[in-house]
Amino acid sequence: MSVHLEQISSNRCHGGWLTRYRHRSATLDCDMVFAVYLPPQAETRTVPALYWLSGLTCTDENFMQKAGAQRLAAELGIALVAPDTSPRGEDVPGDPEGAWDFGHGAGFYLNATLPPYSRHYRMHDYVVHELPALLEAQLPLNNRRSISGHSMGGHGALVCALRNPGRYRAVSAFAPISHPMDCPWGQKAFSRYLGEDESCWAAWDATRLISEASERLPLLVDQGEADSFLKAQLKPEALQIACTAAGHPLNLRMQAGYDHSYYFIASFIDDHLRHHAAALLD
């Protein structure tokens, strides 16, 4: 039996359609909302998809409303898929103190192993396996996929690509949490989702995964030099050092004057779309 997709809204955009859906996720054991932009080409054939993973506190709506990606995606013939950033619902545990950097809106795109989070917080499996299988079965999407994201979602995009060789044709990130084992956001999330044994954390840290990556997808990373989270949380220099040591191709672009906001993302999203199109449409 196919999973039911409940349409929440649909808007015409640059000749295509931006639609939000709700469905019951077996992986996360809760209802989930996501958004898909289908370019005009999807009316006559299947199209490849770029999966976008958003950052802390975000939902599927941030990217679709603020990045301005639909115009070029329509021109290129690429679908955009934006899942939520964590499981949601009354039965899904969040931060016991109500903090914004853990729990709801902060799933970190990993598979939690520590109760009570292990029941629902399996965002890695949801993004990598369940959601693409659902969409490729019910929407005009083919199996050509790429992945990108911002901040926590940039971390997720890098990790999803590094852990799943052959799954994606391209990867990029904006201001990713590059070395979560060595920053407050990552340490808080990893200790609660995975436990205190730091040896279990390396499997979810892009900087640590680079050395053992069996696939060398070129990484495009944009980072604003005026980003207030740059030094304490994001640590792109750690990723650069790891890539240099492993011979992994990395184009790290430090952008003067840009911060952590969607103004930054909107300024360079076209470069990223073309980066993905080169691999998705070859």
Q: Would residue 260 show up in a list of annotated catalytic residues for this protein? A: yes
Residue 129 backbone phi and psi in degrees, to 5:
-115, -60
> What phi and psi values does residue 147 have, to the nearest 5 degrees?
-145, 145
Residue 148 falls in the annotated catalytic set: no
Active-site choice (104, 120, 260, 276): 260
- Active-site residue, selected from the candidate residues 151, 172, 178, 267: 151
- Of the residues 84, 205, 222, 227, only one is catalytic, namely 227
Pair 133, 166: CB distance under 8 Å: no
Q: Is 29 a catalytic residue?
A: no
Pairing relation of β-strands 16-25 and 6-13?
antiparallel
Task: Show which residues are catalytic.
Answer: 151, 227, 260
